[in-house]
Structure formats: structure tokens, C-alpha cells
Amino acid sequence: MLGLKGTMTIIDNSGALIAECVNVLKAKSTPGVGTVGDEIVVVIKRARPISHNAALSNIVKVRRGDVHRAVIVRTKKEVMRPDGRYIRFDDNAAVLLNKKKELLATRVNGVVSSDLRMKGWGKIASLAPKVSRYYFRPRSI
């Protein structure tokens, strides 16, 4: 789960490194809190410096302070799967979108959750180098 003022890493090649959530759009379960596959609005907090050769590379020019839409692809908070198992990651991560809800960048550089396919973001899952299906079972008390 990721809420207002939550920070996350950006795992695409858009040039952004760290972003902060300022609004959660279309949160189905809990208003104001997003989970994997939800669309959010972010402000770029840290970005790669733009070099003069950036026009020749395939990196999109994203600057600090820009406002973009993004899709949550990993969360620290565990998420329960329909079969009762849980999945969680070490950090929060997102992928930037443009205004047409298309990917802003051309590559996804990290592991993403397999829940993205069920939520209609199959393109992100297909571009990712690895789609996580790892589970953990919480200890019984």
C-alpha cells in the first residue's frame, strides 16, 4: 500500500530516480491508498542530470519537480493473493506514464509484480526482465 507523500523509486529509463506520491487515482479498495496496479500522480524528487548527448540517447528528459502519472509496480506492504498467500517487496517502485496512459519510457529495469497482468498493465509486465511470483507465508502466532 502506498499513500500520500509516499516515496518510491522509478524503475524505467525515463531519467527519474525518486518520486513522491501526491494523489492516488482509481483506488478501488481504500480511498487515498494505492496498491500494485493502481494509477497515481507523482512529483519527481530526484532525476538524472540531462547531458548534451541526451538527444541522441533513448532517455526521456524528465526533470526534478515535474508532475507525471505513474503505475505502482512494487510495494513494501504485503498484498494477499486470492489463494491466501502473500507477496511483498523490499521497496516501493513505479513506472511513469504520459497523459494517454502509455509508458513514458521504453524499458523497465526491475522486478515487477505479476498482479499487473490481472489489472490491465500487461505491457509493463512484458517489458520487465522478471515478473515476481514469489510468496511468503506469515508466521502463525
Q: Give pLDDT, residue 100.
A: 92
**Grid coordinates standing for 76?**
513494501
Looking at the domain assignment, is residue 141 inside a domain? no
Looking at the domain assignment, is residue 138 inside a domain? no
Task: Name the burial class of residue 133, with classes exposed (0-12), middle (13-18) and buried (19+) by CB atoms within 10 angstroms of its CB.
Answer: exposed
Looking at the domain assignment, is residue 128 inside a domain? yes
Looking at the domain assignment, is residue 91 inside a domain? yes
Looking at the domain assignment, is residue 137 inside a domain? no
Q: Give pLDDT, residue 32.
A: 81
DSSP class of residue 108? B
Looking at the domain assignment, is residue 92 inside a domain? yes
Q: Give pLDDT, residue 3.
A: 87
In a structure prediction context, what are the per-residue pLDDT tens digits for the chain, which is 141 residues long?
Answer: 888 899 999 999 998 999 999 999 876 667 788 889 899 999 999 998 876 665 555 666 799 999 999 999 999 998 888 888 888 899 999 999 998 999 998 899 989 988 888 888 989 989 988 887 654 555 554
Q: Give pLDDT, residue 19.
A: 97
Number of domains in the chain: 1
Looking at the domain assignment, is residue 109 inside a domain? yes
User: CATH code at 67?
Assistant: 2.40.150.20
The domain containing residue 32 runs over which residues? 2-132
Looking at the domain assignment, is residue 139 inside a domain? no
Q: Give pLDDT, residue 70.
A: 95
State the residue for C-alpha cell 502509455.
102
Which three-class secondary structure string do you get for 47-83?
A: ECCCCHHHHCCCCCCCCCCCEEEEEEEECCCCEECCC
DSSP class of residue 92? -
Alpha helices in the chain (DSSP H): 115-118, 122-127
